[in-house]
């Protein structure tokens, strides 16, 4: 007996079990909501967290440090940071079509039911067979891929790449099309403030109070920056409370917009900034009518960059072991999230900053085992703190190694006399100093400058309109950061014309950090990682240098340092410092790090927004679309247009049957076809004729009012651009048609010819494509059909309205135009009526006996007549090639005339338009097939031309084609081999004149 | 990128299309091959101020001469092409 299948997923099942308590959550404090517990799963294990947690803080609250495997060596990795710079803790979120790989656990907000999985591990996170790569570490050093997988080339695709992709690599792509939608916003402001920490808040306050339109973009869910993570007071109150008071004031300002969860990722030209707002990433599913993310294109008159700073890891052996964290991150987990990331901690610092970590850990009840301070002189107050906590203090110390497997268990400490000692610890807080987040100041080519005193790169030349404030500008005390923000915010508002004054700067911590530069511990054991995400070690940098790479840009590419999805936020400066150390040069003498957009990875779908699928561009429908749909039309996309391709009738099982019937109707009776998609341009003014003489290769100015002329226009390089008809409506008014494809291009070209080449001409032009429904009525009975369509009165006789003439008519009393034009070679008219009359015209024409026909029949009719169209007007043909050479007037100047006379374009051996019919009168010819002399070897050197258009002619009863054949005009009656190696066609055809039906044009003129 | 159109004001570059160098004098029909070759095919690629033709195609449809610094993308001047010196 089968048990019913349980529809619940493993994650559902995990969520149905009670979650364990969070062993590392502090009993009080933090900015998390203790009243709102949340359940989530990690690798199928049910866990709990609190509202306000990130996935990272919730994992740490549960005592989980091991969250992933590294890219190359599959080393166990933990959570390094508490913010946007995270290189290690990349996880997969959600499942199915919403599965999202490579998401930073430090940025993912916890929500009820969140499914998260570690990635890049096989078969499981704890037991990863790929870690064997670590055993082969000596051969996986820098440049390994380049050196090893070069030869033979054919092995790359079949063998090497799949292996590498299996072994190295990040998460998995989602399993279906993205079910969510994304949108784009355009916004304009006076002052854009990037970053909502203390500097950004003061800048927004200064500009907002002055009345400027301000946008403040903060990457985090909450404003406040480091003030949320530090245990310090501002203006006599806890940092977060001060943040709330400023936030309340800003929120009340109608001209200030606060964008939380918004990363400004690119600074573009002229004050344009691209930003992504994660509208619904923190929710299981986006609410109805809300996008998942929103792409903001912000045009700002002034930008204040207040992006803060990023703490640098120190490079020493085993610095990647889970449980090794940045000191600032440890404080963030303690103070903001009320999570104690370790019970027995060692702190490794090079200045006062690490002693804040010591104090915060002690306050949270962690045991501080040792403080390793790279400075040889320790301030007395700090030494007293260590003594009070019973922590071993190692002055002039270094961490020289770590032990443990899935989590750190002990560290090895070296002092400046060369002695080492071991210490047990489950947390190592490290910090080599802070790197200003100057990235956005470099996006337009600005070069950072090195500051020796701060041991940091600061913004050098900034883009016009951008100033940098706070830690991003190298201010490292809260008081200095607040003052800087106030100053830059006010200055930005003043630049925009507002009378801004600097807000009073609140009292805050103002002790400068006394520190020594600390990047690297050369004498340490084990792999010392510079770039955690790409597994680049200090040894790799040294190897690159040994192999002759000197430029930092080359070293980056050779080692892939800084080229992972985090773009080396925690790695670039350290890598540069190590390279400088090895090369015996200064850091600025070694190079700089420059940054390009995006600041953080941006999904392509976010930038595309709603411009995807059917909304990529609007679909254009002809005025008779609904009628055609109701009358059995099959539609074809022609550029943005939908056109009726054929009208199937009951009993017709193959499209060829419908097309053959429609062609026969035109040849024997009458047909009607919507040709409204042709571009239509009205050209008016005293200079209209002169302009058209310049634009068209043939002369237009001699055209009489009431007459129509076929026209061909060239590009200035002598090739054909487009063709169409020109009707002279009045002395100073012309109605021009273009091909469907070139409607926009031709109008733009005419405007160019007028405004740039002949501004002296008094002429104007406008597109009227949408102003007319235009139908072609063709066939021996076309005149009677037309007579039944138009209001009584006009003389439609051949004498009164001959071929290539037009006249004004009425349809239902509405002015309309009747042109006698033929594309099919039959007696034919084009009737132009206002668009809302289009369907009535179609309906009545059918009642009068006309057969509706689509674009397929239209194409067959024109191939039978040898008229060039898309296949022939391919940008590589001249008027002469198409048999239109005599149209190019030699009596006047025109665009393209001079270069059409180039020897290469008048070479008699050029392929010219010919007709082709299969010798066996049966085998279809195909467009794209190439032409050879019979018996000649089918190689490029013997290529004589190609087939441009082909069809089966219902009128002749056999296949026909048009083609371009070298010296074709002289070769009528000869045979050519028509070879189609791609699709497997090989037949012989006879060369003939391109016009297969009524070459004398008797029917057209009838 | 933003272009201050003399007719429409400061607008985003997505409203424009660019053609290439401005200020090329179209030779007379009888000019020699070299002059025509130069006009149609040869272009300078300056590092610095560069005059280009931009078409405000999704705006007023004016052809504009935009003087732009190719190193910084700073727009130095914008004038309607119709107003060029005779
Ligand atoms: Zn404009």
Among the partner residues B12, B27, B63, nearest to A756 by beta-carbon distance: B63
pLDDT at B85: 45
ipTM of the complex: 0.98
Q: Say whether A56 sits in a helix, a strand or coil.
A: helix
Q: CB–CB of A185/A205 below 8 Å?
A: no
**A185 interaction partners in chain B (CB closer than 8 Å):** none
What CA–CA distances, in Å, run from B29 to A520, A694, A755, A892, A901? Answer: 71, 12, 19, 9, 11
Q: Taking CB atoms and an 8 Å cut-off, how many pairs form between chains A and B?
A: 60
Residues 6+ apart with CB under 8 A from A639: A740, A741
Mean pLDDT in residue range A65-73: 89
Domain shared by A260 and A136, yes or no: no
Structural domain contains residue A964: yes
Q: For residues A458 and A469, what is the distance between their CA atoms, to the nearest angstrom?
A: 11
Q: Which domain holds residue B50?
A: 2-83
Domain shared by A566 and A636, yes or no: no
Domain shared by A441 and A301, yes or no: yes
Cβ of A799: how many Cβ atoms within 10 Å? 6
Structural domain contains residue A52: yes
Q: Which domain holds residue A364?
A: 313-432
Q: For residues A945 and A912, what is the distance between their CA atoms, to the nearest angstrom?
A: 9
Please check whether residue A903 touches B, CB under 8 A: no
Structural domain contains residue A32: yes
Tens-digit pLDDT profile for residues A509-535: 998 888 888 999 998 889 999 999 999
Task: Return contacts of A995-999, CB within 8 angstroms, 24+ apart.
Answer: A995/A825, A995/A865, A995/A866, A995/A915, A996/A863, A996/A864, A996/A865, A996/A866, A996/A915, A996/A917, A996/A953, A996/A955, A996/A956, A996/A960, A997/A667, A997/A825, A997/A864, A997/A865, A997/A953, A997/A955, A997/A956, A998/A825, A998/A865
Structural domain contains residue A764: no
Domain shared by A428 and A379, yes or no: yes
Q: Is 90 exceeded by the pLDDT of residue A272?
A: yes
Tens-digit pLDDT profile for residues A605-628: 999 999 988 888 889 999 999 999
Give which of A356, A305, A295, A303 is closest to A329, Cα–Cα.
Answer: A356
Please check whether residue A874 touches B, CB under 8 A: no
Domain shared by A137 and A221, yes or no: no
**B41 interaction partners in chain A (CB closer than 8 Å):** 717
Q: Is 80 exceeded by the pLDDT of residue A144?
A: no
Q: Residue A10: which pLDDT band, with cuts at 50, 70 and 90?
A: low
Q: For residues A406 and A206, what is the distance between their CA atoms, to the nearest angstrom?
A: 49
CATH number at residue B10: 3.30.2270.10
Residues 6+ apart with CB under 8 A from A294: A182, A183, A184, A185, A276, A277, A279, A606
pTM of the prediction?
0.89
Inter-chain residue contact A269 with B19, CB threshold 8 Å? no
Domain shared by A330 and A205, yes or no: no
Q: What are phi and psi of A411, to 5 degrees?
A: -125, 155
Structural domain contains residue A837: no
Domain shared by A43 and A117, yes or no: yes
CATH number at residue A409: 3.50.50.60
Domain shared by A486 and A532, yes or no: no
Q: Is 90 exceeded by the pLDDT of residue A682?
A: yes
Strand-pair partners of B4: B10
Structural domain contains residue A757: no
Q: How far is the CA of A215 from the centre of ligand 1 (A)?
A: 27
Residues 6+ apart with CB under 8 A from A898: A718, B27, B29, B31, B36
CATH number at residue A543: 1.10.10.1100
Structural domain contains residue A838: no
Q: How far is the CA of A571 from the centre of ligand 1 (A)?
A: 46
Domain shared by A252 and A339, yes or no: no
Domain shared by A344 and A304, yes or no: no
Q: Is 90 exceeded by the pLDDT of residue A961?
A: yes
Which residue is closest to B3 within chain A, CA to CA? A270
Peptide bond into A598 cis (omega under 30): yes
Please check whether residue A898 touches B, CB under 8 A: yes
Q: Say whether A823 sits in a helix, a strand or coil.
A: coil
**Which among A388, A416, A432 is the end of a domain?**
A432
Among the partner residues A270, A756, A899, nearest to B2 by beta-carbon distance: A270
Q: Say whether A453 sits in a helix, a strand or coil.
A: coil
DSSP one-letter string for A864-904: HHT---TTT-SSS--TTTTT-GGGS-SSS--TTHHHHTSHH
**What's chain B's average pLDDT?**
94
Tens-digit pLDDT profile for residues A455-509: 899 999 999 999 999 999 999 999 999 999 999 999 999 999 999 999 999 999 9
**What's chain A's average pLDDT?**
93
Q: Is 80 exceeded by the pLDDT of residue B84?
A: no
Domain count, chain A: 6
Give which of A120, A116, A136 is closest to A128, Cα–Cα.
Answer: A120
Q: For residues A360 and A368, what is the distance between their CA atoms, to the nearest angstrom?
A: 10
Q: What is the DSSP letter of A269?
A: G
Among the partner residues A271, A756, A893, nearest to B53 by beta-carbon distance: A756
How far does the CA of residue A445 sit from the closest CA of chain B (Å)?
8
Burial A735-762 (b: 16+ CB within 10 A, else e): bbbbbbbbbeebbbbbbbbbbbbbeebe
pLDDT at A152: 54
Strand-pair partners of A188: A299
Among the partner residues B73, B74, B82, nearest to A759 by beta-carbon distance: B82
CATH number at residue A978: 2.40.30.110
How far does the CA of residue A901 sit from the closest CA of chain B (Å)?
10
Domain shared by A189 and A326, yes or no: no
Please check whether residue A268 touches B, CB under 8 A: yes
Interface of A with B in 450-489 (CB under 8 A): 464
Domain shared by A323 and A345, yes or no: yes
Structural domain contains residue A514: no
Mean pLDDT in residue range A172-189: 92
Tens-digit pLDDT profile for residues A630-645: 999 999 999 999 999 9
Tens-digit pLDDT profile for residues A332-354: 999 999 999 999 999 999 999 99
Tens-digit pLDDT profile for residues A817-854: 999 999 999 999 999 999 999 999 999 999 999 999 99
pLDDT at A770: 96
**Residue A681 CA from chain centroid, whole number:** 35
pLDDT at A16: 60
Among the partner residues B1, B75, B81, nearest to A268 by beta-carbon distance: B1
Mean pLDDT in residue range A265-292: 96
The helix (run of H) or strand (run of E) holding residue A480 is helix A478-495
Domain count, chain B: 1
């Amino acid at each position: 007996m089968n048990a019913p299948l349980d529809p619940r997923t493993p994650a559902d099942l995990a969520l149905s079990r009670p979650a364990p308590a969070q062993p590392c959550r502090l009993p009080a404090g933090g900015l998390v909501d203790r009243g709102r517990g949340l359940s989530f799963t990690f690798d199928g294990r049910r866990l709990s967290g609190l509202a306000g947690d990130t996935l990272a803080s919730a994992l740490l609250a549960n005592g989980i440090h091991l969250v992933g495997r590294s890219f190359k060596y599959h080393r166990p990795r933990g959570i390094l940071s508490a913010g946007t710079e995270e290189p290690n803790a990349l996880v997969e979120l959600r499942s199915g079509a919403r599965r999202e790989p490579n998401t930073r656990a430090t940025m993912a907000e916890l929500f009820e039911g969140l499914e998260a999985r570690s990635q890049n591990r096989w078969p499981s996170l704890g037991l990863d067979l790929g870690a064997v790569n670590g055993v082969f570490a000596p051969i996986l050093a820098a440049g390994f891929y380049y050196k090893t997988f070069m030869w033979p080339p054919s092995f790359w695709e079949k063998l090497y790449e799949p292996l590498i992709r299996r072994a190295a690599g990040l998460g998995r792509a989602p399993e279906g099309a993205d079910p969510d939608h994304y949108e784009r916003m355009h916004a304009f402001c006076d002052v854009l403030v990037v970053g909502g920490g203390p500097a950004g808040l003061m800048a927004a306050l200064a500009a907002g109070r002055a009345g400027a339109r301000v946008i403040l973009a903060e990457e985090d869910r909450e404003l406040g920056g480091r003030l949320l993570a530090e245990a310090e007071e501002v203006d006599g109150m806890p940092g977060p409370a001060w943040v709330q008071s400023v936030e309340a004031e800003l929120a009340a300002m109608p001209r200030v917009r606060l964008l939380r969860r918004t990363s400004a990722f690119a600074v573009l030209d002229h004050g344009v900034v691209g930003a992504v707002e994660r509208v619904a990433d923190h929710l299981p599913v986006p609410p109805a009518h809300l996008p998942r993310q929103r792409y903001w294109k912000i045009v700002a008159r002034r930008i204040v960059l207040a992006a803060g700073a990023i703490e640098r890891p120190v490079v020493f052996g085993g610095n990647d072991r889970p449980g090794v964290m940045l000191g600032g991150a440890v404080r963030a987990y303690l103070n903001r999230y009320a999570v104690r990331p370790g019970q027995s901690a060692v702190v490794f610092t090079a200045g006062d900053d690490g002693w804040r970590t010591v104090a915060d850990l002690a306050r949270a009840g962690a045991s501080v085992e040792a403080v390793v301070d790279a400075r040889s002189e320790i301030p007395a107050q700090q030494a007293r703190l260590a003594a009070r906590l019973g922590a071993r203090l190692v002055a002039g110390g270094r961490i020289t190694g770590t032990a443990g497997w899935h989590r750190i268990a002990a560290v090895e400490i070296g002092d400046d006399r060369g002695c080492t000692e071991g210490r047990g610890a489950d947390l190592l807080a490290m910090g080599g100093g802070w790197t200003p987040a100057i990235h956005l100041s470099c996006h337009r080519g600005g070069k950072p400058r090195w500051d020796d005193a701060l041991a940091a790169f600061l913004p050098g030349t900034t883009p016009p309109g951008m100033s940098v404030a706070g830690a991003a500008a190298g201010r490292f005390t809260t008081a200095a950061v607040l003052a800087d923000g106030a100053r830059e915010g006010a200055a930005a508002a003043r630049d925009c014309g507002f009378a801004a004054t600097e807000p009073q700067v609140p009292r805050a911590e103002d002790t400068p950090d006394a520190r020594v530069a600390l990047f690297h511990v050369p004498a340490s054991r084990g792999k010392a990682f510079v770039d955690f995400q790409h597994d680049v070690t200090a040894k790799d940098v040294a190897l690159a240098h040994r192999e002759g790479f000197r430029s930092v840009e080359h070293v980056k590419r050779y080692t892939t340092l800084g080229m992972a999805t985090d773009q080396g936020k925690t790695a670039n400066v350290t890598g540069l410092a190590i390279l400088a150390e090895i090369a015996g040069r200064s850091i600025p003498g070694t190079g700089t790090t420059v940054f390009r957009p995006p600041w953080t990875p941006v999904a392509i779908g976010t930038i595309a927004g709603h411009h995807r699928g059917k909304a990529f561009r609007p679909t254009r429908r002809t005025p008779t679309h609904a009628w055609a749909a109701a009358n059995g039309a099959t539609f074809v996309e022609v550029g943005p247009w939908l056109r009726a391709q054929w009208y199937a009738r009951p009993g017709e099982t193959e499209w060829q049957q419908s097309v053959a019937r429609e062609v026969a109707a035109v040849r024997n009776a009458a047909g009607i076809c919507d040709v409204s998609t042709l571009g239509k341009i009205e050209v008016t003014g005293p200079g209209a004729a002169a302009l058209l003489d310049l634009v068209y290769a043939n002369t237009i100015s001699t055209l009489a009012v009431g007459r129509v002329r076929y026209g061909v226009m060239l590009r200035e390089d002598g090739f054909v651009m487009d063709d169409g008809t020109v009707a002279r409506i009045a002395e100073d008014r012309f109605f021009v048609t273009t091909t469907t494809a070139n409607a926009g291009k031709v109008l733009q070209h005419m405007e160019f010819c007028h405004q740039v080449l002949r501004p002296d001409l008094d002429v104007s032009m406008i597109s009227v494509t949408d102003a007319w429904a235009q139908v072609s009525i063709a066939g021996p009975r076309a005149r009677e059909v037309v007579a039944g369509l138009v209001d009584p009165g006009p003389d439609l006789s051949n004498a009164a309205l001959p071929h290539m003439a037009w006249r004004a008519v009425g349809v239902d009393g509405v002015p309309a135009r009747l042109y006698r034009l033929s594309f099919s070679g039959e007696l034919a008219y084009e009737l132009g009526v206002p668009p809302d009359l289009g369907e009535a015209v179609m309906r009545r024409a059918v009642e009068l006996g006309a057969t509706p026909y689509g674009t397929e029949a239209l194409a067959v009719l024109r191939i039978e007549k040898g008229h060039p169209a898309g296949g022939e007007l391919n940008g590589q043909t001249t008027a002469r090639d198409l048999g239109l050479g005599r149209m190019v007037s030699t009596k006047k100047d025109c665009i393209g005339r001079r270069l059409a006379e180039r020897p290469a374009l008048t070479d008699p051996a050029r392929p010219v338009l010919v007709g082709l019919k299969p010798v066996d009168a049966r085998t279809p010819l195909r467009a794209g097939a190439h032409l050879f002399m019979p018996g000649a070897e089918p190689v490029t050197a013997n290529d004589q031309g190609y087939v441009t258009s082909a069809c089966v002619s219902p009128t002749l009863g056999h296949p026909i084609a048009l083609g371009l054949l070298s010296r074709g005009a002289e070769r009528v009656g000869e045979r050519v081999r028509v070879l189609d190696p791609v699709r497997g066609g090989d037949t012989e055809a006879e060369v003939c004149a391109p016009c297969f039906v009524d070459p004398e044009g008797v029917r057209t003129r009838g | 990128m933003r272009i201050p159109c003399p007719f429409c004001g400061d607008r985003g570059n997505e409203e424009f299309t660019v053609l290439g160098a401005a200020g090329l004098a179209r030779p007379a029909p009888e000019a020699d091959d070299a002059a025509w070759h130069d006009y149609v095919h040869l272009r300078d690629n300056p590092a610095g101020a560069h005059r280009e033709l931009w078409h405000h195609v999704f705006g007023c449809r004016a052809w504009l001469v935009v003087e732009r610094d190719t190193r910084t993308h700073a727009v130095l001047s914008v004038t309607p092409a119709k107003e060029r010196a005779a």
